[in-house]
C-alpha cells in the first residue's frame, strides 16, 4: 500500500511538472512573439542585407541569390538582387521591377504590399487565430507556423528570431510541394537614415515598359 501511495505521488508530481513545462513553453512563445512585434513597432526605416536560397523539391534544383532591402515609412521600399541583377522599387503608388540585363521594367500597382520582413505583424500579430505555432530553441528562436486552414501558398513558415535583440534573422517558407524558400538576414539596421530619393525610379532610355 505504501509503495502504491508513493507511486501515485510520483505520477502526480510528474504530471504537474509536465503541465508546468507546457505552460512555461506557451508563455515563452507568446513573450518572444510580443517582444518581436514591439521591436518593430516604432519602425520608421529599415536596412537589411539578405541571402536567399530556393530549392525545388521535385527537381532537386536550388538557386541562390543575395541582395539588399531598404524600407521607409509609410510604404516605400527598394530591393536590389545580384546575379542576375534585379531591382524592385516601391514608391508608395507603384511597384517597379527592373531587369537591366533584359532592358525591361514592369510596373504594378503597389497597394498595401510590404514584404513580411518589413512588416512582421502580418504573421505574428494575433497569430493563434490563423496558425498553430511551435517553438524550437537553437542558436536562434525558431517559431514554426502551420496554417490552421490549408493554403496553396505555403504549408509551413519558420521565423528565426534573435534571442537578445528580437529581430527577425531569417524566414523559411515551405510550400505544398515541400519546396523551400529560405531567407537569411544580416546587418539589420532599424531606423537608419535613408534618403527618399532612392525610392524614385526612372527607367533608363531604351527600356521596355510593361504595365500590369
pLDDT at residue 128, rounded to an integer: 87
pLDDT (tens place) for every residue of the chain, 212 residues total: 544 444 344 444 334 433 333 434 445 899 999 999 999 888 889 999 999 999 998 899 999 999 999 998 888 889 999 888 999 998 878 889 999 999 999 998 876 555 555 667 677 888 888 899 999 998 999 999 999 988 877 899 999 999 999 999 999 999 988 999 999 999 999 999 999 999 999 999 999 999 98
Q: Is-contact 51 183, C-beta < 8 A?
A: yes
pLDDT at residue 100, rounded to an integer: 93
Kindly provide the b/e burial profile for residues 13-30, where b requires at least 16 CB atoms within 10 angstroms of the residue's own CB: eeeeeeeeeeeeeeeebe
Nearest-angstrom CA–CA distance, 12 and 7 = 9
Domains of the chain: 37-92+113-192 (2.50.20.10)
Q: Which residues pair with 131 in a beta bridge?
A: 147
Amino acid at each position: 500500500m505504501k509503495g502504491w501511495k508513493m507511486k501515485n505521488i510520483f505520477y502526480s508530481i510528474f504530471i504537474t511538472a509536465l503541465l508546468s513545462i507546457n505552460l512555461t513553453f506557451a508563455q515563452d512563445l507568446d513573450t518572444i512573439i510580443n517582444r518581436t512585434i514591439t521591436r518593430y513597432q516604432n519602425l520608421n526605416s529599415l536596412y537589411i542585407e539578405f541571402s536567399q536560397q530556393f530549392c525545388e523539391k521535385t527537381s532537386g534544383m536550388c538557386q541562390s541569390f543575395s541582395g539588399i532591402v531598404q524600407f521607409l515609412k509609410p510604404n516605400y521600399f527598394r530591393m536590389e538582387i545580384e546575379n542576375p541583377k534585379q531591382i524592385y522599387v516601391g514608391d508608395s503608388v507603384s511597384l517597379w521591377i527592373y531587369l537591366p540585363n533584359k532592358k525591361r521594367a514592369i510596373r504594378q500597382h503597389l497597394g498595401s504590399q510590404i514584404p513580411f520582413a518589413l512588416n512582421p505583424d502580418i504573421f505574428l500579430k494575433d497569430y493563434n487565430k490563423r496558425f498553430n505555432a511551435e517553438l524550437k530553441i537553437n542558436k536562434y528562436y525558431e517559431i514554426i507556423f502551420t496554417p490552421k486552414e490549408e493554403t496553396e501558398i505555403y504549408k509551413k513558415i519558420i521565423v528565426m528570431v534573435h534571442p537578445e535583440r528580437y529581430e527577425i534573422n531569417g524566414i523559411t517558407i515551405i510550400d505544398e510541394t515541400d519546396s523551400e524558400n529560405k531567407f537569411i538576414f544580416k546587418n539589420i539596421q532599424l531606423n537608419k537614415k535613408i534618403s527618399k530619393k532612392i525610392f524614385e525610379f526612372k527607367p533608363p532610355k531604351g527600356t521596355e515598359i510593361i504595365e500590369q
